[in-house]
Structure 1
């Protein structure tokens, strides 16, 4: 019995990960960018468990991880970068050039982009450019009035934010790089007019009733914001969201006629991703200024109607809820459960907001053709380290 207890204690100490010990902790550097830094010990995080995590990332136990950042109790206490492949659409496993990632290297954040678009819509409503999320999307799409029929006229801004437009769409089950995948079809067949590919799809459910993940709806939201404010998404976001929270190094992909790739085309550094997470952790406040309405943050972190029990392919996230473009989950480290909401992107890009822990965790990754296991890292190492 004593031997068993000793074995359990040793396994607890080293996390039983069998990963070679190569990492020596260093606290993040202060950059005078609005993010305060500190050490793991300052916020009561077990540095040994975090070292175990980093060692296992080096050993590629969790695939290709490009960065991990931990922010707790108003301090950035871990900022670690690794080597890995850039994303390349037509490369093997979607891999391009091998990169040594660092704090200045922008990363394509994939569908995390959607949460930034949602924030811009919330700001536009707060500033009076848009009256309500309950307005028909076709109030703001004068060049697409031909689709305002057959029930599509009942699709609102809120329906696009919550993936409940009712339009037929599949970007999770059909093979990538084919027209069978509706999000890829935008680039293969509808590069010149992406919104036509979105709105020509038949309505198969009453708007607001059923969840169907639809990145094309976010591209429509970008055009709605442009027509409502007179500024495109890039200009509006820069003026009202990015610059106010100190994000100055962003890149955003666009379509040939200027539509912003609002479903997944934003490139940011992981530290700038963290700033956005901190903004939401603080209920939309940055440096004492209310950037996003607190009610909007709450709706982002609240499951919309029937948007629950959702499983995301090639992820270990289990069942999820969905709010205003944010995923809502419960994580379990074996001793306690913790509520979390997150901006989530293909390949393992994520901004995790954990209000009860007063924490934000950011990952960037290159696991585009393999299962993302970010939840396992959170539950095995990061949350236990916070006890």
Structure 2
């Protein structure tokens, strides 16, 4: 049996699987959606229910998900952006991960001259290890501009807002703290 036929049979047979029964009985929770694509065609689609929240508004309670229901996506953005960056890198459309970050923003040359910024590379953006001041955890989301993400969204120039953050870790490192804007903040 080829893969396409297998995936079709899998899709047809999933309705009776114990996992779906367990979900209906409340023994599995939080599965918002499962989609399987093969050859650019959707071969399986399942939507569940689970708790969700909206950034800045808090919990939305238990949501019945579907193809037209927005999902609160945060941490998944890093994986999707990493994948898109890898594809663009293979196509020669973006600089390599070792490229200096501030070299990509010549309009902020004044910031690039500040001590320590010359060590920050694109891979630090992708791994969220820039070593710049960033706090979106101790101050709740909402209207509070002390939350770094909210302040960035309100800034007239989000790139400048991120690039001018004070350095709090002198040398970015792969095992350093996650400090500074999520990759999606860069408009990747």
Normalization by structure 1: what TM-score? Answer: 0.38
CA distance in 2, matches of 1:101, 1:176: 24
1:67 aligns with 2:32: yes
Partner of residue 107, structure 2: 143
Aligned mate of 2:26, from 44, 56, 64: 56
- Please give the secondary structure, in 1, of the residue aligned with 2:137: coil
Q: Contact 2:119/2:172 (CA < 8 Å) preserved in 1?
A: yes
The equivalent of 1:186 in structure 2 is: 152
Given the superposition, is the C-alpha separation of residues 39 and 212 from structure 1 closer, same or farther in structure 2, using an over 3 Å criterion? same
Partner of 1:38: 9
Contact 1:83 1:99 in 2 (8 A): yes
Q: CA deviation at 1:157?
A: 0.6
Quick one: distance in 2 between partners of 1:163 and 1:85? 24
**Offset at 1:141?**
0.8
Relative distance call for 1:121 and 1:77 in structure 2 (3 A) is closer
Q: List aligned pairs for 1:12-27, cutoff 5 A.
A: none
2:46 is aligned to 79
Distance 1:150 1:183, change over 3 A: same
Q: How many Å separate the matches in 1 of 2:150 and 2:23?
A: 35
Of 118, 134, 140, the match for 1:169:
134
Larger relative contact order (C-alpha < 8 A, sep ≥ 6)? 1
Over the aligned positions, Cα root-mean-square deviation in angstroms equals 3.7
Conserved 8 A contact 2:81-2:183: no
2:117 — aligned with what? 152
SS of 1:69's equivalent in the other structure is: strand
When you count strand as a share of all residues, which structure comes out higher? 1
Q: Indicate if the aligned counterparts of 1:133 and 1:158 stay in contact, CA closer than 8 A.
A: yes
Counterpart for residue 214 of structure 1: 180
Over 3 Å counting, the alpha-carbon distance change for 1:168 and 1:88 in structure 2 is closer
Describe the SS at the equivalent of 1:56.
Answer: coil
Cα deviation 1:339-359 (Å, max 9, x = unaligned): xxxxxxxxxxxxxxxxxxxxx
Q: Which residue of structure 2 lines up, in the alignment, with residue 7 of structure 1?
A: none
Greater shift, 144-153 or 173-182, is seen at 173-182
Structure 1: gaps (5+ residues): 1-35, 223-232, 234-387
For the structure 1 residues 134 and 195, does the alpha-carbon distance in structure 2 shift closer, same or farther, using more than 3 Å as the test?
Answer: same
Is the 1:38–1:76 Cα contact (8 Å) retained in structure 2? no
TM-score computed with the length of structure 2 as normaliser: 0.71
Decide whether aligned partners of structure 1 residues 81 and 155 sit closer, same or farther in structure 2, where only a CA change above 3 A counts.
same
Q: Distance in 2 between matches of 1:151 and 1:218?
A: 23
**Alignment partners' CA distance in 1, 2:150 and 2:102:** 24
Counterpart CA distance in 1 for 2:123 and 2:94 is 12
Q: Number of matched residues?
A: 174
